[in-house]
Amino acid sequence: MTTIITYGTFDLFHIGHVQLLRRARALGDRLIVGCSTDEFNASKGKNSIFTFEDRVEILKACRFVDHVLPERNWEQKVVDIKEHDVDIFVIGDDWAGKFDFLTDASGCAVAYLPRTQDISSTDVRDVIKALDNEKKSSAIQSAEHLLELIKDI
């Protein structure tokens, strides 16, 4: 039984997350995901749109994921890897080199997978904001047009 582990925020779940989880799972028989809590996110300087509880449920619904645990701090990885008898730690290559220490610290292999281009939770958030602004300005325009019509009565 080859066990894989990865960690992340996984906010506004998108194809980049799916590809990462699919490829991570393909490296073994079981994939564990550490989902960043809202508090840990704050320490990463991130505030997610979806709550921790919702992000956990979405990950659990993903067919590549076998188990989800809370990621509360940077230090827990070594303990998690030993506790769950993890063989490979996997993460996107935006983190390349940052977790090499895990091999010496916990005896697992470390794999950095290429990030999926042109998609991020920030991009998705920006698109939603832009659509929202568009809707607001068209609502204002139609209200102004209505006011003009009323004035002319």
Assess 37 for contact with ligand C2G (CB under 6 A). Answer: no
Return the number of the residue (37 or 87) whose C-beta is nearest ligand C2G. Answer: 37
- Smallest CA-to-CA distance from 74 within 91, 60, 51 is with 91
- Smallest CA-to-CA distance from 112 within 83, 79, 88 is with 88
36 alpha-carbon distance from chain centroid: 8
Residue 46 among the catalytic residues: yes
Annotated catalytic residue within 44, 60, 98, 136: 44
- What x-and-dash track marks residues 6-35 binding ligand C2G by CB under 6 A? xxxxx-----xx--x---------------
Return the number of the residue (71 or 87) whose C-beta is nearest ligand C2G. Answer: 71
- What x-and-dash track marks residues 128-147 binding ligand C2G by CB under 6 A? --------------------
- What x-and-dash track marks residues 41-60 binding ligand C2G by CB under 6 A? --------------------
Roughly how many angstroms between the first and final C-alpha of the chain, as a whole number? 78
Measure the CA–CA gap between 133 and 3, rounded to whole angstroms.
45
| Residue found by looking up tokens 């997350």 in the block | 17
Which residues are CB-contacts of 77 (< 8 A; sequence separation ≥ 6)? 5, 7, 34, 89, 99, 102, 106
Site residues (CB under 6 A) for ligand C2G, limited to 63-82: 71
Residues that bind ligand C2G (CB under 6 A): 6-10, 16-17, 20, 36, 71, 91-92, 94, 115-116, 119-120
Q: Which residues are catalytic?
A: 44, 46
